[in-house]
Amino acid sequence: MENPHQDPNYNEAWHRGQLSPEQLAGLDTEHLERYKLHQEYLEEHKGHDSRHELMAFILLFALFAFQFLILYWKKKHFSSFQLVSLVCLYTFPVLFGIYDGWYRFLTVWTIFSALNGFVIHKATRKPLEAMTPRMVYKWYTVLHNTSFVIGLIGYFLILAVFCGLAALFTEGPGVMQTGILMLSYGLYFGVLGRDFVEICTDRMAATIGYYSKDGLPQKHLSAHICAVCGQPTSDDTGTLVDPPQRAVFADDPVHQLACQHVFHEKCIRGWCLIGKRDICPYCKEKVDLKQFKKNPWDTQQQLYLNLLDGVRYLVVWQPIIFGAVQLFYYILGLD
């Protein structure tokens, strides 16, 4: 007798859940039970094709709508946008790490938090110590360059795997995993450093008193005083300063902007490049950032900074968007 399971018509009727009474009578107990389970599955997922289309439409609409909302929020209320995005960027990976057991990441994150917390503590003290601005910019310069190099190495390792070069030296998925890990670490801590340095820059500027976001500076800038660190740029401070002030950083070259204000070169480079400020710390006149690009490395770093904005979206806003979509699915009874 021919096996009915080899009959294409029988198989098609089985998948549709429409076996005839004669076909059902020919099933043994095991196959009859499987057929009943299959019918329950078909009934449960009845109409899912149209439901999946609706779910896909909701997801696409949410992605586009959130993009406009995020851009509007960033434009109208940048301070609150920056705070919320930084808090989420700082905490989301840790929550995922605790849930999934990413102990290596949690260890690195803890060390970073301790060092970064100390720097932020120094940047928010009043009065601000003379060495604090340099320490802050030095820390974030090292963090920025280190994350850039680690991310770049990770990228080349991934590229080597795709090109087949890694197979010449090692076997297995270890190279790819190392590359992904290094790229992820570099991008994540790079964007964290970029956000934190903006906060430190604002706080230090407000503490020094030579900079105001919305109005005139809170105090007059004397000649030969750096408006970033508040220290003299030379021993010649004029006759208005009593007692006379001497330059703290005697070996540091100075830099004069087009507005004629003079700064320590390391201070103004930190303000413009690391702190992402394109205005004079005192008079807010536009600064040509090209005058600070002494080598192609700075240009490469500027391109790298643009990539970090995409990382912030992936780490912060994409989980929020998908969480909101899942909540909407639950409310509508879509699964």
* Residue 109, pLDDT above cutoff 70: yes
Q: Whole domain around residue 115: which residue ranges?
A: 50-214+292-332
Same domain, 225 and 81: no
Is the same domain home to 145 and 103?
yes
Question: What are the tens digits of pLDDT across the range 54-64?
Answer: 778 888 888 88
Which of 99-108, 117-126, 168-177, 298-307 shows the lowest per-residue confidence on average (mean pLDDT)?
298-307
User: For residue 135, is pLDDT > 80?
Assistant: yes
Q: What is the pLDDT of residue 1?
A: 42
Intra-chain end-to-end CA distance of the chain, in Å: 44
- Give the domain CATH number at 281: 3.30.40.10
Same domain, 208 and 277: no
203 lies in the same domain as 272: no
- Residue 131 falls within a domain, yes or no? yes
The pLDDT of residue 49 is above 80: no
Q: Are residues 83 and 180 located together in one domain of the fold? A: yes
- Output the average pLDDT for the chain: 76
**Residues 178, 323 share a domain:** yes
Q: Are residues 144 and 67 part of one domain?
A: yes
Judged against a pLDDT cut of 60, whether residue 113 lies above it is answered with yes
**Lowest-pLDDT choice from 91-95, 96-100, 162-166:** 162-166
pLDDT at 171: 63
Query: Do 252 and 108 have their domain in common?
Result: no
Residue 264's φ and ψ, nearest 5 degrees, are -65, 135
Q: Are residues 206 and 242 in the same domain?
A: no
pTM: 0.67
Same domain membership, residue 204 and residue 61: yes
Average of pLDDT values for 15-21? 70
Claim to verify: residue 74 and residue 143 sit in the same structural domain? yes
pLDDT digits (tens, 9 = 90+) for 286-304: 777 666 655 444 555 566 6
Query: What pLDDT does residue 298 have?
Result: 52
- If 0-12 CB within 10 Å is exposed, 13-18 middle and 19+ buried, where does residue 166 land? buried
**Residue 308 scores a pLDDT above 50:** yes
CA-to-CA separations, 45 to 39, 216, 334, in angstroms, rounded: 10, 66, 11
Residue 254 has pLDDT above 60, yes or no: yes
Confidence (pLDDT) at 213:
62
If one counts the domains in the chain, the total is 2
Are 278 and 299 members of one domain?
Answer: no
Residue 2: band (very low, low, confident or very high) from pLDDT cuts 50, 70, 90: very low
- Going by pLDDT thresholds of 50, 70 and 90, the confidence category of residue 240 is very low
Give residue 214's pLDDT.
Answer: 63
